[in-house]
Structure 1
Amino acid sequence: MRLRFIAISITILSSITSIAQNNEVVIDKIIAKVDDYIILKSELERSYLDFLSRGEMRGSNAKCEILQQLVVNKMLMAQSEIDSIFVDDGEVNQNLDRRMSVMAQQFGGEAEIERAYGKSIEQIRSEIFDNIKEQLTIQRMQSELTSSMKITPSEVKKFFRNIPQDSLPYFSTEVSIAQIVKEPEPGKIQKDKVRNLLTDIRNRIERGESFEALAKQYSQDPGSAARGGQLGFYGRGELAPEYEAAALSMTPGGISKPVETQFGFHLIQLQEKRGNTYKTRHILISPQPNQADYQQAENFLDSMRNLILNDSITFQAAAKEHSDDQLTSSAGGFFQDESGALRIPAETLDPNIFFTIDTMKIGNITKPIRFQKEDGSYAYRMIYYKNKVAPHQANLDDDYQKIATAALAQKKNGRISRWFDKARSNVFIEVDPEYNNCNLTN
């Protein structure tokens, strides 16, 4: 069976769902082995449910194709050991911290996550750590196999011509929208308040109070606060340079004075040095802007808008240089779809942006608008409404970037398929007889 590549990601949601399921009596079994790696029936069933939840067709071979992709993933893991391609625990923890932060926002806090799944944050983190490490390793191996691949215009045209006319996707209304975001920066008054608070906490620790308890009480780092501020081991260059410099300047057991990084102010305790790695815990407190800081951000954007309207700078150049939104600034402030095209379906817009552009004319730029970010904080942005494309069937003129991305994905999948056909003869693959019809063994 040729490999029809199905992206199977080990998301934090599915991982936590499996944790919840583990609280019940579940009959599970090993359905495949790839060298020393195993695939459980529960993995296949969760991946199949995820496949269906994305609105995919229920083709008769869907489970076989998903199982084959799981086998490919295990083969990629085995190959990563041969090629000495590893993901260190520091990178896994950073990824896990980001995911847990998103989950905390979605659930309304870590306590709600614990209540929903009947386990502590520490238990949840521990149980999904290996899944995330495997996911990152697989991504790195896939990149090793396909990162050099490119797609030419002639290949894009050929790919498009091979799509049956009745299978061409139909795109709804799409818009080209850009933004410049300005987050208010806390001024000296607010920063001094945080420095003084952390200095007081440091004095309390030196008088005998527990670092761990104070971290749980005061730290605003969602990834480490519940662990008493523990960050674990990191290598040089993996944490903020100011943080690293302070940590490595101390002897184990030492506690720093407040250290400022882009994330706020840290109280750092160096716990251990081991070769080129070091272990720390910290208490992070981020100063919050006051009304004067918000006013300064609004004034900045208003001045920038005037420069753009007077043709002193383009919107794109201003966004690249001044916008605080990392997801859009590199594209000149434009929102992008998954293919990288600077045009997105109108229905996917944030409702506040959707209703804002509904009152705008093409080419207009709003005055600064205050809005609430996903983390609950506030910032200002101004929106540029560049273009609108009516609903249409896919074509090369309007949708080249989307089609090129799909063509490149198909080309990469072909390489992984060929790699699988060649590599599976070099590894031991055993599949439960229940899945013999999938033809996964040599």
Structure 2
Amino acid sequence: LHDLLSDQITEDKLRAEIGSDLEPDDDELQSFYDQNVDSFRETEASHILIEQKSQASKLATQLQKAKSGEVEKLFGQLAREFSEDPGSGEQGGDLGFFSSGQFVPEFEQAADELSLGEVSDPVQSQFGFHIIRVTDRRFQSFEQVRDQIAQELGGAEAEEAYQEFVQDAYEEADVRVNPRFGELDPETQQIVNASAEDTPGAEEPDEAPQPEEGGEPPATPPAEE
């Protein structure tokens, strides 16, 4: 155990040292933000969670037929009265702003397809049927997500640099493997292609006993209880 911990500590220190000089600069961070700005979009929505589809359909129809100026108030009233999500139900269905990955895919996909103020048909998920209304959309600013981007980019670059270091170290060390054990895969640095007949200690399976000529086949051993 001591050796394993020592090896892990050594590896962690090596990774940290290699990655210390690989912090992305502001231009790289801004470029990543610009190319992936959609992933930093936030949506504000409300929902009513109902267990039975028939009831969810009735409520959705009632909301969709309501006058535009009355929908927000009516949605809140129905959420407080019928929603089976106690957290948001008490808030009139309000979920606040959320980003991608916070809710189940079915919910987020339906929300993405709605226009502002539009009420969805019932959307089924593992929790029941959601009636969704999107109230706003916005993008997180570069400054808000700068540290997050730096961590993601820095981690990816550090891992790539570490793998290159290990690859070069193996090549310079001229690691050789006894053919009886297989051969070294230069990509994974793992020993592969060791066949059973070449592996020390491997035994061939015993052949099943054959019946004597004219005799009965050997009895099958009883199954274990």
TM-score by length of 2: 0.35
TM-score (norm 1): 0.19
- Max radius of gyration: which structure? 2
Q: Which protein is richer in helix relative to its size?
A: 1
